[in-house]
Structure formats: structure tokens, C-alpha cells
Structure 1
């Protein structure tokens, strides 16, 4: 996989992206010139030691935060050329989000939660597709239940169905299994994997868990706001070993004053 991308084949591209936080006389590059591409129909995990820039990369790639310099493209659209309203519409129509917190509406049923993004966008939900997505995440028999009647794993399945219901170009997942037990986490990761391999979905997942990362096709490792290395067809053991090397290297480096959340 070429991290520099090749244009049309990339769903998301970051080109020389810098994100600098400044407070008083101190500044830190949360991202220090990252060039990276995510191809259609791939599952990429983003990992690195604390403060390496993982969340900042996700936020910039998803148009939630603007880079200090550099460019981010979604299917060829330069996000830097869009105003806030245009960015909001793009995120609503072409990007799906899955978070550690499920962010479901407690008064709505599973089905109502899944179709909510479509309704907010003024798009009429296609009933057959909505039912297909709910069935795909294993909740066909719970479609009229509310979140309080579901387990944590089932709630995360609803969040995945909601993210997929708009047929987004890319799904960004931020620690999606962080609040789940091992068995449930595995089921959720298999669902994400299935969405990539059977439906051609593009998924970018930030995680600290080597086991979660092993479900991805590729792992990109960050350190000090830069791409340190990447790994194809990862195993949990290989990922854990690489993380240990990166953490040791960061620990051995001189301390740097940090500002802002990275």
C-alpha cells in the first residue's frame, strides 16, 4: 500500500498535513507533515503512543478540525475549499462516525436511531436497505427496542448500522470497542471487517488495542505527529511489539512541552 496515494483510487487523502497547537510561547506539532491515503474497500487501524497524533489525524481527515497547513481530500474534494455549512453537509452525507460512546437517542427505537441521519438530511430512508443493514448487524429481532433494552454490544451494533445507513464514502471509528468486553468487541470488529470485504466500505479506526488492530488490513503507526511505519495483514503480537518499540523510543526522547489535545 502506497501511503502517498494515487489520486482517484483513494477515498481519503492527507497531503503534507500539519496541525500546530499554540498556547502562549509554546507550540507543538500534533501532526508534522503527514501524507497518507486510505483506499476504497480497505480497513486501516491508526495506532501510536499517547500524544502521537492519532485523534488529531482522525479529526483532520474527517473534516472536524482544519489543518494548520496541508490538504485533505475526500474523493477528490478539497475540504480546505469548503465553508462550514458545506463541510457540515459533506460530513452528514459522505462520512460515517462510530465512537466509544454509542451516542444513541434513548427515546428512539433501534430502527429510528438508524434512520435518524437520513431524516436529518431530508432523505427518505429506503426501507429495504435499512432493514438489510439492521439485519446485517444482527438486530433484526430487536429493531423496535430502545437503547435501554439493549446490551452495550448491541448498542454499538446500532451505532454501526446508523453509520452505514447513509452509504458513506468512509467510516471513521474512534476506539469503537473500548467500552466492550472481549467477546463483544470481537463480534463488532468482525462486523466492521465484513462491511469492508463484502460491501467495499472504507473504514479508518483509531485504537490502542493490538487485538482490535489485527482485524484491519493495514496498521499505520504514528509517533510524534509523524508516520513511523506501517504494517500489512497485521497480527496482534506483531502490532504489540511495534507499539512497544515506539513507546520505548518516545520515552527515551527528551520531554517536549505539549499544548492542546492530541
Structure 2
């Protein structure tokens, strides 16, 4: 992918004697949604941390929105994450003492950028919470809190949004609403990379990449929940060596 938003080349990550990632080569296209799946201990979290610039690989390279992360200083890396990367987690990570609007504004304030009230209004309208702007997080449902988190992640107009189990704490109906929001964001040009254990959530992606034992263990294009679930049953020890299918 010549115009990849994120690219990992031969990425290896070691924690002492533990090899969490073992030669991972992946590219993620701009304006696409990719789900990353694998058994517990497969390297999903380490992959996300390295791909998002939260952790540096032991060897190999990561390119994020055209920047080689190995060649940038910690200061520039911090600015890169702040300006070009959005994060959504299973735990909504909202500040309980701030209103909905203030939580959405927070990334702009931390970056020292001017608060554009019209932009904040647009973000809240996009996630369907225009009438909740003065509410505190504790006054919202779980699904509403996750929508606030999505608005906060999108307010800086990032190139890439990393979502770590974004529907893990939500019921089925609410999860579908959140996934639809992420899909709509992709249509506007955003790249979404979502780590999930849920085949239904993964089926909303354009592609699913499977990890096992720290290695890429195949992929599915235009996945269905049934196909994802079937592939997951075959992942385990040694699956990376035996897997078929391109990446």
C-alpha cells in the first residue's frame, strides 16, 4: 500500500525474554477500517501500542501518517500523537468533573489550540449528543459516554483513530450504534484500526487481521461475523506458521 496511513515493517517487541511481536509486517490504507483480532497473549495490545507510537519496538520500523517514528524525538512524537492520532478505549476515560462539551474540548486545550465552539457543536451533533453538552459523564448511559469519547477523539481531525475494544462495555444495540459512528468516520477519510475480541464488531471492518503468538496469522477481506468466529477457533499455538491467506 503506497499510501498507507500506518505501516509496520519487521516489527519485533521484546519484554525481557518474552517476545510480544515477532516480525510483524502490516499496512493500513487511508480511509479504511481494519479490525485486529487474536487469542489472549497474541500481541494485540503490544501491536496497538507500537502502531500508535505509545511504545517503541525493539527492532523494525513504524510509519504513522508518513512519519518514521524511529527517527522522531520524544517531543515530536508526543505532538504527533496529539495532533494526528485519536484514541477510543473500552473504559471511556472521561473526566467526571467536566461537562460533555468540556471533555470534547480537552484535547484542544491540552494542545494550546483555540476552542472553536462551532466545531465542538459539530462534533456533538455528529455523535447525537447536542442536547447533552452541559451534562456530566455520570448523568449519561455507557453508550452516550462512549460517543463523547469518540467526539473527543475526532475533535483534532486526526489521520488515524485507534480503538481498543470500543464496544466491550456496551450492550449489543448500543455497540452497533457506536460501530456505525466509526464506519461513518471512515467514509470521511479517517483511518480506523480497532482491536476487538468480538466477531460481530470485527464484521463492521473492511478487513480483519489475525495475530497469534506475536505474528500475523492471516486476514479476511469483507468479513462476516461467522467467518471471523470460524477463523478464531483455529488460532492458537503455532497458528501463525500454519495460517493461510494474504495480509
What TM-score results when the alignment is normalised by the length of structure 1? 0.89
> 1:201 maps to which residue?
190
**Alpha carbon RMSD of aligned pairs, Å?**
1.3
Shift of 1:249: 5.6
Q: Name the SS of the counterpart of 1:32 in structure 2.
A: strand
Aligned with residue 220 of structure 1, among 201, 209, 214? 209
Report the Cα distance in structure 2 between the residues aligned to 1:73 and 1:248, rounded to whole angstroms: 29
The reply on whether 1:237 has 2:226 as its aligned counterpart is: yes
Shift of 1:248: 7.4
Q: Name the SS of the counterpart of 1:11 in structure 2.
A: strand
> 1:258 maps to which residue?
none
How does 1:75-154 map onto structure 2 within 5 Å?
Answer: 75-154=65-144
Mean Cα deviation higher: 41-50 or 73-82: 73-82
The reply on whether 1:21 has 2:10 as its aligned counterpart is: no
Deviations 1:179-207 (A, max 9, x none): 1111111110111111112x111110000
Aligned with residue 44 of structure 1, among 12, 34, 43? 34
Report the Cα distance in structure 2 between the residues aligned to 1:191 and 1:39, rounded to whole angstroms: 19
> 1:260 maps to which residue?
none
How many residues were matched structurally?
240
Shift of 1:77: 0.8
> 2:5 maps to which residue?
11
Structure 2 unaligned blocks of 5 or more: 243-247
> 1:259 maps to which residue?
none
Aligned with residue 189 of structure 1, among 174, 179, 186? 179
Report the Cα distance in structure 2 between the residues aligned to 1:181 and 1:249, rounded to whole angstroms: 33
Q: Name the SS of the counterpart of 2:108 in structure 1.
A: helix
Do 2:127 and 2:148's aligned partners in 1 also have CA atoms closer than 8 Å?
yes
Q: Name the SS of the counterpart of 1:247 in structure 2.
A: coil
Aligned with residue 61 of structure 1, among 32, 38, 51? 51
